[in-house]
Structure 1
């Protein structure tokens, strides 16, 4: 006689019916899909969770130690200030964003053109590349007043300073990509009579696409830095000007609110560069 403790609970299924085992292939496919979903979500979930934990720690430290808002506002105070001033800050963000895009576009064209010129001519490489490196070694902040003296206090000085900061990564990355093409492929181009522009458009540039966009990702951040530095010095509008004005008024929450908006704009511009990279890589089979 079976004891109550050893009795198997009734689950509603007929014990006389033998159910087929799940095929190993289906189990492996399910595990593969789960692993793929985890791999896709991890690059998004981990940064978000890390940022949330850091913000929570920041909030806790400010509240527990009762740090004055004039020294370090809590994230909740920054969020409230951002919500209150969002329409005004968005208006201030327009010139900053437009000047950043203009500086980035000019630095992209200038950097790629210089890289092509240096690649195409050994004389140009020997004449220009050392000087480009030399100018890159000069402290950029020290030259900011010179751009203001030469170009005035308008947007042209800020855009020029932004270009001066951001074009060098584009030059180096593009030059690396254009010169890293397989030599056998270039010999094949010469053998079939391909020269000049055709070699660049069909061989060198497709091979250089990953390198070019590596430089562009750096350049978009440098372009915004250049504009913000220029706004610190000359502008009467923009998020850089708002940060400087809020600092003069000891409005720490407004400073952090402006920085948060700057980060959002920077992430958006960086995402556009990444999207363009994916389109280019898909086009050229990268």
Structure 2
């Protein structure tokens, strides 16, 4: 009696795509590669300082910086509070103003011709050269640092958002006009959702610029904050404290950047991107 083909040999197991077998591989690689690279750089730095006998007053080793960061951690965290709050406030103001101006310039040809060249002109001015003017006009308080942070974080948001609003598929815009959608409804449901990746591309740059603006302001006017601590440590030739403050600044910057990236993912999921 003949044996059916289906019983003669077992069916081959289905072959899953490689990405399904290791869905975490790409994420793990994106995490491990930067960490390994940073560890190698720190290891080379440590070896260079120890082997060459470089003075701590010139370049402290990473281990010395870590020890100082642990020893002064609570104090530096207290100094980080005003720096972080002013950075976040400046970033949010720049994000709102930059997005609003980009929408206005994209919607009105008159506004584009009147405002956009001036925005570009002010961007070409060296920002550090204008910092003393903000201090003269607004004093030595939080207002001058916040305004300066908004000033330098504003332009990336405008440019990136405008690129997203102007780059929408023209067929979609014709479809909106054919169904009678008004200009603002088209912006709300088509243009702005399509521009979300560009908005957050500018926001990721703006968050770093906002921190730079606050630190520059603290160099000049503040009596507290991580920028003030860096300047104070430099006056005392305390290189370990300088690097500890910079390390904490890097950690805060990475955290704020990660929150911006998380907000981007939430916005894209909200709009179905």
**Given the two structures, how large is their TM-score scaled by the length of structure 1?**
0.90
TM-fit CA distance, 1:22: 9.8
Equivalent in the alignment of 2:50? 63
Deviation at 1:33, TM superposition (A): 4.3
CA distance, structure 2, for counterparts of residue 74 and residue 86 of structure 1 = 18
Deviation, 1:118, is 0.4
Report what 1:129 is aligned to: 116
What CA distance in whole angstroms lies between the structure 2 residues aligned with 1:134 and 1:276? 31
Closer/same/farther in 2, CA of residues 277 and 67 from structure 1, 3 Å limit: same
Tell me how far 1:97 sits from its aligned partner: 0.2
Q: Which residue of structure 2 lines up, in the alignment, with residue 109 of structure 1?
A: 96
**Structure 1 residue 226 displacement after superposition:** 0.3
Q: Which residue of 1 aligns with 2:69?
A: 82
Q: Which residue of 2 aligns with 1:38?
A: 25
Aligned positions of 1:81-230 closer than 5 A: 81-230=68-217
Inter-partner Cα distance in structure 1 for 2:170 and 2:238 = 59
Q: Secondary structure at the match of 1:73?
A: coil
Query: 1: CA distance between counterparts of 2:24 and 2:97?
Result: 41
Structure 2 residue aligned with 1:73 = 60
Between 97-106 and 37-46, the greater mean CA deviation after superposition? 37-46
Query: Which shifted more, 272-281 or 187-196?
Result: 187-196
Instruction: State the alpha-carbon separation in 2 of the partners of residues 85 and 34 from structure 1.
Output: 46
- Cα drift, residue 38 of structure 1: 2.3
| Distance in 1 separating the partners of 2:19 and 2:158 | 42
1:277 equivalent among 255, 264, 267: 264
CA gap of 1:275–1:32, structure 2 versus 1, over 3 A, is closer
Question: Cα–Cα, structure 1 residues 70 and 111, in superposed 2: closer, same or farther, change >3 Å?
Answer: same
Task: Give 1:37 shift.
Answer: 3.0
Q: d(CA) in 2 for partners of 1:239 and 1:61?
A: 27
The SS at the match of 1:36 is coil
Instruction: Summarize deviations over 1:30-70 as a string: whole Å, max 9, x none.
Output: 85445433222110000000000110110010001110000
Deviation at residue 251 of structure 1 after TM alignment: 0.4
**Paired residue secondary structure (2:222):** coil
Q: Distance in 2 between matches of 1:22 and 1:211?
A: 49
TM-score, length of structure 2 as denominator length: 0.94
| 1:212-260 CA distance string (max 9 Å, x none) | 0000000000000000000000000000000000000000000000000
2:230 maps to what in 1?
A: 243
Across the aligned residues of Structure 1 and Structure 2, the Cα RMSD in angstroms comes to: 1.5
Moved over 2 A (4+): 20-25, 28-38
Matched, 1:267 2:229: no
Q: In 2 relative to 1, CA 178–254 (structure 1 residues): closer, same or farther, beyond 3 Å?
A: same
Cα deviation for residue 120 of structure 1 reads 1.0
Query: Displacement, 1:23?
Result: 4.2
Gaps of at least 5 residues in structure 1 are: 1-19
For structure 2, the residue ranges without an aligned partner over 5 or more in a row are: 1-8
